[in-house]
Amino acid sequence: MKRAKEETASQDLSRQPEGLMTLRTQAMPKDANPNGDIFGGWVMCQMDIGGGLLAMEVAGGRVVTVTVDQMAFVRPVRVGDIICVYGSVMRIGNSSLDIKLEVWARDPIEEFESQRHLVTEAVFRYVAIDKKRRPRRIPDHPQYPRE
Ligand SMILES: CC(C)(COP(=O)(O)OP(=O)(O)OC[C@H]1O[C@@H](n2cnc3c(N)ncnc32)[C@H](O)[C@@H]1OP(=O)(O)O)[C@@H](O)C(=O)NCCC(=O)NCCS
């Protein structure tokens, strides 16, 4: 419980995840360095998978990642933590869409759901493409108006 107490004391418990949970998984030893710290690249990969799923649904088909805005890792992820990726559609252009992604983590044994902490957040831009890999127009979506 030491970690939970230390980290809970320094985090803003009023902030909760925003958006739709698009991915939930557990950080495994293969995703960590010898000290048990999870690689940032693994976390980014989970964001891209979770964001890509949401983008694909909204765009009604195949998408590719084109940019990621600035991101900082504000808390660590450790082996065994459960991480959840939450996504919100920020903007729909002609063929591109921006999805804000947040990653929240917690120790499944030592920490309650309310003690999960924000690890990182970023806006990923996806582009809808056709079978020839050319950008295609994203169909109108009742839930997400075009910019
Ligand atoms: C994404 C890709 C299809 C865009 O092709 P393109 O010829 O540049 O297409 P366009 O210039 O017509 O741009 C298409 C859309 O992408 C956006 N876009 C393209 N490059 C961008 C960039 N560098 N930054 C931000 N947006 C970009 C454009 O603004 C446009 O958005 P809109 O249609 O909503 O107005 C092409 O760059 C590509 O295939 N990139 C590789 C993507 C990939 O494989 N990702 C995984 C890497 S492992």
Q: Is any atom of ligand 1 closer than 6 Å to the C-beta of 94? A: yes
**Residue 125 alpha carbon to ligand 1 centre in Å:** 9
Q: What is the pLDDT tens value at each position of the chain, 147 positions in all?
A: 445 445 545 566 678 999 999 999 999 999 999 998 999 999 999 999 999 999 999 999 999 999 999 999 999 999 999 999 999 999 999 999 999 999 999 999 998 888 899 999 999 999 999 999 999 999 998 888 887
- By most ligand atoms within 8 Å of CB, the mutation choice from 44, 66, 92 for ligand 1 is 66
For residue 88, being part of any structural domain is answered with yes
Q: Is any atom of ligand 1 closer than 6 Å to the C-beta of 66? A: yes
Indicate the number of domains in the chain. 1
Domain region containing 106: 2-128
Provide the β-strand partners of residue 84.
Answer: 24, 104
CA–CA gap between residue 91 and residue 122 (Å, rounded): 14
- By most ligand atoms within 8 Å of CB, the mutation choice from 95, 123, 127 for ligand 1 is 127
For residue 139, being part of any structural domain is answered with no
Torsion of Cα atoms, 92 then 67 then 30 then 112, to 10° = -40
Q: Is any atom of ligand 1 closer than 6 Å to the C-beta of 123? A: no
**Residue 66 alpha carbon to ligand 1 centre in Å:** 6
For residue 58, being part of any structural domain is answered with yes
In this prediction the pTM is 0.92
Domain harbouring 64, CATH code: 3.10.129.10
For residue 141, being part of any structural domain is answered with no
Q: What sign for the dihedral angle of Cα 26, 91, 121, 4?
A: negative
